[in-house]
Amino acid sequence: LNRRLAEFGTTIFAEMSALAASTGSINLGQGFPDTDGPAEVREAAVRALREGRGNQYPPGLGIPELRTAIAEHQLRRYGLEFDPDREVLATAGATEAIAASLLALLEPGDEVIALEPYYDSYAACIAMAGGRRVPVTLRPDRATASYRLDLDELRAAVTDRTRLILLNTPHNPTGTVLTRAELAAIAELACERDLLVVTDEVYEHLVYDGAEHLPLATFPGMRDRTVTIGSAGKTFSFTGWKVGWVTGTAELVTAVRSAKQFLTYVASGPFQYAVAEALRLPDAYFTAFRDDLRDKRDLLSAGLADAGFTVFRPTGTYFVTADIRPLGESDGLSFCRALPERAGVVAIPNAVFYDHREAGAPYVRFAFCKRIEVLADAAERLRKAFA
């Protein structure tokens, strides 16, 4: 294994899902729903398979039906206009979109600012692209039970070598939804310092408590310098289909495609047809999806609090971060490795999402995209083990 990748080892999601399987624990680690998305969307995939649509290589940009549906979705939800033939690209999940964006846009030695804790593929993809990551740490605020971005710290992180900001809102693993003021400040900074932004918005539909997801591309000056990433895995609960997408200017999308064509070339043919239909589901689907996850968030958060954790209140995503120090623990990694034995539950140690590991040490992440009875069982197990 080369030096660029050596530090990364095996992704924590594989390690923890294997641990869940080998111990028969409830897996609240890796973020995947235990209920598949809408039946009619699954049927659309079956139809495409049967009718021989997408069983051979789809077009490099993605099938036109999907690109049109993505453009319509961005227009309908956010008032953002994209030309489906030049400004939209289907990818093998958001994961490939992230990799291709970084491989396409970075020169060796370029600095990339990422909000820490960050989704684990960011660091590895920055490294594969020869870039240098510069973490800006989201700080836990106990008073509001949330995480906040220090804008001065962000500004101070920009140097002459900074090429882009890799943003993620709603944010995995903290559940933070960046506010209008924070996004406006990021946009201003990007314009002032002539930076690109790759913004991972895969949890765009999962925002709670009246919070609003605002795509960075909607801010003044940002449409021309932003690559926006979405995922059908997250939005329609089909993580195995690996359908994601990129929207941006023709220049940026063409650049991302230049890398993408040599990674997978194309992927997920029949599923692209199904996702094209899914994106046209009525607003009621998206609202019900969000409300269901809000209820699950509330159930698991209450269970964690009962068990003795200090719980941060996620306003977005399907993850909740908890502080283990009230349980007399301080090292999330060893806590998570022991948790299956102690409680029959699997969680993810947030430390693996940090460069400043000590800043993330006492925090662990639980996924709540699981059936109510599974969450209730997990909460009960945690209560028995710790309360």
Q: How far is the CB of 193 from ligand GLN (least distance, A)?
A: 30
Inter-residue contact 363 to 351 (CB < 8 Å): yes
Q: How far is the CB of 233 from ligand PMP (least distance, A)?
A: 4
Element (H, E) at 300: helix 283-307
Pick 319 or 386: Cβ nearer ligand GLN: 319
* Binding track over 15-34 against ligand GLN, x by CB under 6 A: ---------------xx---
Give, as ranges, the residues between 149 and 208 that touch ligand GLN (CB under 6 A).
Answer: 172
Inter-residue contact 378 to 28 (CB < 8 Å): yes
Q: How far is the CB of 319 from ligand GLN (least distance, A)?
A: 7
**What are the beta bridge partners of residue 227?**
198
Residues 317 and 166: their CA atoms lie apart, in Å, by 17
- Is 13 a binding residue for ligand GLN by CB under 6 A? The answer is yes
Q: List the single partner that 247 binds among ligand GLN, ligand PMP, none, CB under 5 to 8 Å by kind.
A: none
Pick 99 or 255: Cβ nearer ligand PMP: 99
Pick 119 or 386: Cβ nearer ligand PMP: 119
Q: How far is the CB of 233 from ligand GLN (least distance, A)?
A: 8
Q: Where are the alpha helices (DSSP H) in 26-92?
A: 39-50, 64-78
Residues 350 and 136: their CA atoms lie apart, in Å, by 15
Residues 90 and 100: their CA atoms lie apart, in Å, by 12
Binding stretches for ligand PMP (CB under 6 A): 31, 93-95, 119, 168, 172, 200, 202, 231, 233, 239, 244
- Whole-angstrom distance between the N-terminal and C-terminal Cα of the chain? 44
Q: How far is the CB of 31 from ligand GLN (least distance, A)?
A: 3
Q: List the single partner that 94 binds among ligand PMP, ligand GLN, none, CB under 5 to 8 Å by kind.
A: ligand PMP
Residues 101 and 126: their CA atoms lie apart, in Å, by 10
**Which of these, 286, 272, 165, lies nearest to 226 by C-alpha position?**
165
Catalog residues that contact ligand GLN under the rule CB under 6 A: 11, 13, 30-31, 172
